[in-house]
Amino acid sequence: DTEVTQTPKHLVMGMTNKKSLKCEQHMGHRAMYWYKQKAKKPPELMFVYSYEKLSINESVPSRFSPECPNSSLLNLHLHALQPEDSALYLCASSPQGNYGYTFGSGTRLTVV
Amino acid sequence: DAKTTQPNSMESNEEEPVHLPCNHSTISGTDYIHWYRQLPSQGPEYVIHGLTSNVNNRMASLAIAEDRKSSTLILHRATLRDAAVYYCIPRRDQNDMRFGAGTRLTVKP
């Protein structure tokens, strides 16, 4: 298995909703990442997990809450989002060392 | 992190070689140079990376200048499927990768 799987592919949520994005990989990668991408912009790093511990939080608002329950799973919990949080959320994983990242296809989130 | 400069856009004809340049004049001696591409409606895809020597793989070649202040991604024979945004990323920390603006490549039939 050489893929990063993200679910759901599309999500529409209201500003008072709570939802979660899920990311899964079975390549044995011990680093996992969340990126946010607005239309026609490059991906922006949000969070990095290394060996299931949060190692980078790019000053992301607390309405985004990451979780890494085990080495194969990465979640992003969403609460009280704003319309400007609408974007493509990308998950990636990599082995430790200077290797390439494998990205999922993303979850397209719309906040209404 | 090293700053990168890439052309906003480039055009190529199908089946011709494409040379995508990247300037990274502030790169440090231990930064690897990574290239990714992002096809429409997809996540980024790893293309190639290198430190000092030129590198080849099944997707592309990477030519790194001797002073390491620039690099060039070479697609030997562009296809319509190669139309994408290409990102050059100097990477110091193995778990920290940040994207610049990239180059949008258009391939004409």
Residue A1 clears pLDDT 90, i.e. is over it: no
Q: Smallest CA–CA separation between B78 and chain A, in Å?
A: 22
- Other CB atoms within a 10 A radius of the CB of residue B89 amount to 24
Instruction: Tell me the CB-side half-sphere exposure of residue B54, using CA atoms within 13 A.
Output: 9
Contacts of B102 in chain A (CB under 8 A): 42
B42–A42 C-beta distance less than 8 A: no
| Structure tokens given for B84 | 């994408």
The whole-angstrom distance between A63's CA and the closest CA on chain B is 22
Quick one: tokens of A92? 């990636």
How far apart (Å, rounded) are the C-alpha atoms in residues A87 and B85? 18
Q: How far apart are CA A44 and CA A58, in angstroms?
A: 9
E strand map for B1-83: 9-13, 18-23, 32-38, 45-50, 55-56, 61-64, 70-75
The mean pLDDT of B32-46, rounded to a whole number, is 96
Roughly how many angstroms between the first and final C-alpha of chain B, as a whole number?
38
**What distance in Å separates residue B18's CA from the closest CA in chain A?**
22
Give me the phi and psi of A67, to 5 degrees please.
-150, 140
**Which site among B4, B45, B97 would you substitute to test the A interface, given the most A Cβ atoms closer than 10 Å to its Cβ?**
B97
Who contacts A82 (Cβ-Cβ below 8 Å, separation ≥6)? A15, A63, A111
Report chain B's mean pLDDT, rounded to a whole number: 94
Six-digit token string for B42: 């997809």
B→A interface, C-beta within 8 Å: 32, 34, 36, 41-46, 49, 85, 87, 91, 94-102
- pLDDT(B1) > 80: no
Average pLDDT rounded to a whole number, residues A72-98: 96
pLDDT in tens, A6-64: 999 999 999 999 999 999 999 999 999 999 999 999 999 999 999 999 999 999 999 99
Question: In the predicted model, what is the mean pLDDT of residues B55-73?
Answer: 95
Q: Which residues of chain B are within 8 Å of residue A101 when distances are taken between CB atoms?
A: 36, 44, 46, 97
At residue B84, the 3 state secondary structure works out as: strand
Q: Which sign does the torsion angle of CA A104, A107, A108, A111 carry?
A: negative
Contact A35, A16 (CB under 8 A): no
